[in-house]
Chain A
Amino acid sequence: MEVTMTVNGAKVSKDVEPRTLLVHFVRDNLGLTGTNVGCDTSSCGACTVHVNGESVKSCTMLAVQADGQEITTIEGMAQANGEMHPMQKAFQENHGLQCGYCTPGMVMAATSLLKENPHPTEQEVRNGLEGNLCRCTGYHNIVKAVLAAADGMAEV
Chain B
Amino acid sequence: MTVTDSQTSHGILGTRTLRKEDPKLLSGEAKFTDDLVIPGALYMALLRSTVAHAKIVSIDTEAAKEAPGVVAVYTYEDLKDDWAGPMPCAWPVTPDMKNPTHFPLANGKVNYVGDGVAVVLANSKEAAIDALELINVEYDELDPVLEIEDSAKDERVIHEDLGTNASYKWDLIPNKDGVDEAFAKAAYTVSERYIQQRIVPAAMEPRSIVVVPAPFGGDFTIYNTTQIPHILKIMLALTVGISETKLRVIAPSVGGGFGSKLDVYAEDVLTLALARKLRKPIRWTEERTENALATIHGRGQVQYIELAADENGKVTAVRVNILADMGAYLQLITPGIPLLGAFLYHGVYDVPNYSFSCTGYFTNKTPTDAYRGAGRPEATFAIERAMDALAHKMGVSPIELRRRNFIQKEQFPYSSAAGLVFDSGDYETNLDKAVGLFGIEDILAEKQRRIDSGSTKLLGIGISFFVEMCGLAPSRVLASLNYGAGGWEAATVRILPTSKVQVVTGSAPHGQGHETAWAMIVADRLGIDINDIEVLHSDTAIAPHGLDTYGSRSLSVGGSAVHMATEKVLEKARSIAAHQLEVSEADLDYANGMFTVKGSPDKAFPLAGAAFEAFTAHNLPDGMEPNLEASVTWDPPNFTFPYGSHLALVEVDTETGKVDLLRYLAVDDCGNRVNPLIIEGQVHGGLAQGIAQALFEEAAYDDRGNLITSTLADYLVPSAAEFPFFELDHTVTPSPTNPLGVKGIGEAGAIASPPAIINAVVDALNHLGIEDVEMPASPQRVWRAINAAKKG
Contact = CB atoms under 8 A, between A and B. Distances in A.
B18 A122 contact: no
Contact of B721 (A37, A38, A130, A135): A130
B723 interface: yes
B684 interface: yes
A43 interface: yes
A129 B722 CA distance: 11
Interface string B20-33: 01110111111110
A98 interface: yes
Interface stretch (B393-401, B506-514, B642-650): B506-514
A33 B28 contact: yes
Contacts of A98: 256, 511-513, 681, 685
Interface stretch (B85-93, B202-210, B517-525): B202-210
Interface string B72-91: 00000000000000000000
Interface residues of A, number: 58
B677 interface: yes
Nearest to B203: A135
A103 to B, nearest CB: 6
B689 interface: yes
Contact of A139 (B512, B712, B719): B719
B672 interface: no
Interface stretch (A50-58, A63-71, A87-95, A148-156): A87-95
Contacts, number: 181
B288 A41 contact: yes
Interface residues of B, number: 55
Interface string A27-40: 10001111111111
Nearest to B289: A40
A107 interface: yes
B712 A137 contact: no
Given A136-B256, A141-B684, A97 B721 contact: no
A144 B37 CA distance: 35
Contacts of A41: 288, 711-713
A33 to B, nearest CB: 4
B719 A131 contact: yes
A143 B28 contact: no
A135 B689 CA distance: 7
Given A99-B204, A99-B205, A140-B726, A40 B18 contact: no
B28 A130 contact: no
Given A41-B713, A98-B513, A136 B30 contact: no
A81 interface: no
Contacts of B677: 95
Contact of B687 (A17, A77, A129, A138): A138
B719 A133 contact: yes
Contacts of B35: 27, 33
Nearest to B205: A101
A34 B31 CA distance: 8
Interface in A111-137: 122, 125-127, 129-137
B287 interface: yes
A95 B26 contact: no
B126 interface: yes
Contacts of A129: 719-721
Contacts of A84: 23, 26-27
A78 interface: yes
B26 A132 contact: no
Contact of B288 (A27, A38, A142): A38
A110 B725 CA distance: 18
B680 interface: yes
Interface in B644-693: 677-678, 680-681, 684-689
B19 A95 contact: yes
Contacts of A32: 28
A7 interface: no
A141 B681 contact: yes
B254 A39 contact: no
A42 B27 CA distance: 23
A66 B662 CA distance: 42
Nearest to A103: B25
B721 A34 contact: no
A139 B688 contact: yes
A22 interface: no
Contact of A95 (B31, B678, B688, B723): B678
A133 B680 CA distance: 19
Contact of B287 (A40, A77, A132): A40
Interface of B: 18-19, 21-23, 25-32, 34-35, 37, 126, 202-206, 253-256, 258, 287-289, 510-513, 677-678, 680-681, 684-689, 711-713, 717, 719-721, 723, 725-726, 749
Interface of A: 17, 19, 27, 31-44, 46, 73-75, 77-78, 84, 88, 91-93, 95, 97-104, 107, 122, 125-127, 129-144
8 contacts: A31-B37, A33-B31, A40-B288, A43-B711, A74-B28, A135-B204, A135-B258, A138-B749
